Every structure is written in C-alpha cells, then in structure tokens.
Structure 1
C-alpha cells in the first residue's frame, strides 16, 4: 500500500505530475519498521507543463515491467507507472518470476 500511495503522491501531489519510470522489485526497499519505500529516482521526471506525457526516443526500463504503449510509442505518463505497479503486484502475489526461458530459448510470460 505504501508504494501505491507514493506513486499517487508523485502523480497528483505536485503542480506537474512526476512519473517514476523505474518500478520493479529492486526499486523497493523496506525500513526498520518494514514499511516499503520507493528507491532510485534516477529516471523520475516531471511531465512538462501543457503536456500529457514524456516522449522518449528510446524507451527504457525492464522488459515486462514497462507498458506496451510506452515501448511502441515512447510516450510515458502516469498510466505507465500504474501498469508497472500492477506487474509488480502480480509477481509479488503469485511468487512467480515474470517470465521463464525454456530449453529452446523461448520466453514464457507469467
């Protein structure tokens, strides 16, 4: 819940939305009270004034954790953070890896 609240704050708590752009298992740390915290804001950006998204010429992120529309268009907005958070929840709740690779080298997604 702490991570969802942190993302909501980034998205609506500032004059311009801030997108995290790097939600994955390793971007979450726990403090001494076991409260989840977002970590590594190196890719975070605020959406420019008057714009609805950030445009990246080359999409960045961990495969499977980034939204399909971002990969295909390079457009990143708050919805992309929510998608990544959903994937993170799926991995945490199932206890499964996001994907596996079989002997033939084919990737099988969760």
Structure 2
C-alpha cells in the first residue's frame, strides 16, 4: 500500500518542547515537518516527500506505524496535531511508488 500523508502542529507548543525553543516567527512548521520526515527516512521504507505530502510504501502495519511515529514526533511542536491521509491499498503489488509515475510518464509519451 501507499500512504500519502501530511502532518502539522497547531496551537501553543509545550513550554519545554522543541517548538517553544525554536519558534518560527513566520508561522512556518518546517522544524516540525523535518521531525516527521526524519522518522519516515529512518524507517527504511520506500518514500518520497514533496512540498505538501510525504508518500510511503509498505505493508499496512508498518506504514501506519511510521505515520503514528511521525505524528508523535510532531506533537511537541504544538498543543494539537493535524493529520491528512490518503491511501492506495492494492494487495499483491509492490514498487508502486515509482511504478505509477513510470506508467504515467509512458502514457504522456515521455518514456
């Protein structure tokens, strides 16, 4: 399965948390997002991060475990966490993180 997710903190960070120590005066959440992306990268699962979402591919339990850990990594940056998920659940298929893009490019005549 492939999960596309976005996670971000909101509200006031815990006074002893990293969000309080390094608040972004411009409202940016890049430090919190970096904490989540670090979790994804450390997972060893195939992944891709864009400006709005991170995609991760694997089995249900391992992918959802990484998403949970990413949410927990963001939690200290605010008093609440927003999580957006989109899933492509296709049993028996692997390598779809790249495979879907390759098929699209072929259909567009680019490969």
In terms of fraction of residues, the more strand-rich structure is 2
TM-score (norm 2): 0.26
TM-score (norm 1): 0.26
In terms of fraction of residues, the more helix-rich structure is 2
The answer to which structure, 1 or 2, has the higher relative contact order (CA under 8 A, 6+ apart) is 2
